[in-house]
């Protein structure tokens, strides 16, 4: 009997430990400054997430560490940058002002020549957009940033989106390499070799400085639910 009880207790403890580890590993909520920069890459695509792009050495980090400062638009704009980028339609947008300001967003990182990670991520993103329904584009902005901007032209990104069935409300971004590098760096996902890009999604309520990082291979229903939770708390 002692052996049976010990086995059952051990099995229960193991299940409890696995559940805690699973929840802790796949979803971590974090504040605007500090947390975003420490996002972890998928174990198959490890890279130093906070490695600065060329020219970033000596960068003055934002001092906006209190909730009040994190909610300030000027501080948000300074942190995320407002660099000009290009959409899949060739339209110039400014990253903070046009893509982030006041919005609930789902940010992913892609490249059209990717043969391992992106073919996994894209169908998940498509399903998330389907689950959001008419809230996609209206209440939630899907943003996919190319980490290979030298090859991923707006035209390439537009065709790529069509290939997977992306609908209106989903913006693909490219632009000058130095601008893309800075934006991705500020989001904590910069890698010197774009082929090692992150499989993480960043889910954020920019207005209220609420952010979460979620693994891209999580069930799309879980990610969509997180976005809707952010909307409900606004």
Q: How confident is the model at residue 188 (pLDDT cuts 50, 70, 90)?
A: confident
Phi, then psi, of 19 in degrees rounded to 5: -65, -45
Q: Which CATH class is domain 31-232?
A: alpha beta
Task: Please name the residues in contact with 197: beta carbons below 8 A apart, sequence gap of 6 or more.
Answer: 41, 45, 47, 109, 110, 111, 114, 117, 147, 189, 191
Say yes or no to pLDDT of 192 above 90.
no
Q: Which of 28-42, 66-80, 126-140 is the least confident region?
A: 28-42
Q: How confident is the model at residue 193 (pLDDT cuts 50, 70, 90)?
A: low
pLDDT at position 198? 74
Q: Give me the mean pLDDT over the 24-29 stretch.
A: 37
Q: Quote the CA–CA distance of 78 and 191 in Å, as a whole number.
A: 22
- DSSP state letter for 26: H
Strand 140-146 with 170-174, pairing: parallel
Q: Which of 7-11, 94-98, 145-149 is the least confident region?
A: 7-11
The percentage of the chain sitting over the pLDDT mark of 70, rounded to a whole number, equals 68
| Mean pLDDT rounded to a whole number for the chain | 79
Q: Quote the CA–CA distance of 117 and 58 in Å, as a whole number.
A: 32
pLDDT at position 67? 54
- The model's pTM: 0.75
Say yes or no to pLDDT of 42 above 60.
no
Say yes or no to pLDDT of 52 above 80.
no
pLDDT at position 116? 86
């Amino acid at each position: 009997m002692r052996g049976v009880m010990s086995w059952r207790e051990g099995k229960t403890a193991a299940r409890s430990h696995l559940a805690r580890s699973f929840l802790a590993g796949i979803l971590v909520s974090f504040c605007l400054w500090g947390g975003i920069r420490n996002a972890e890459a998928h174990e198959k695509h490890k890279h130093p997430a906070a490695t600065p792009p060329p020219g970033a050495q000596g960068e003055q980090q934002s001092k906006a560490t209190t909730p009040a400062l994190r909610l300030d638009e000027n501080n948000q704009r300074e942190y995320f940058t407002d660099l000009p980028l290009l959409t899949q339609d060739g339209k110039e947008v400014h990253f903070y002002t046009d893509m982030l300001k006041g919005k609930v967003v789902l940010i992913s990182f892609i490249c059209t020549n990717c043969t391992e990670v992106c073919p996994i991520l894209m169908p998940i993103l498509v399903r998330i957009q389907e689950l959001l329904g008419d809230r996609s584009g209206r209440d939630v902005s899907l943003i996919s940033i190319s980490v290979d901007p030298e090859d991923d032209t707006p035209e390439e990104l537009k065709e790529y989106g069509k290939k997977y069935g992306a609908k209106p409300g989903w913006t693909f971004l490219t632009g000058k390499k130095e601008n893309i590098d800075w934006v991705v760096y500020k989001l904590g996902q910069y890698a010197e070799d774009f082929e090692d890009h992150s499989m993480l999604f960043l889910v954020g309520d920019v207005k209220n400085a609420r952010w979460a990082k979620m693994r891209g291979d999580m069930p799309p229903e879980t990610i969509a639910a997180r976005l809707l939770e952010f909307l409900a708390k606004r």
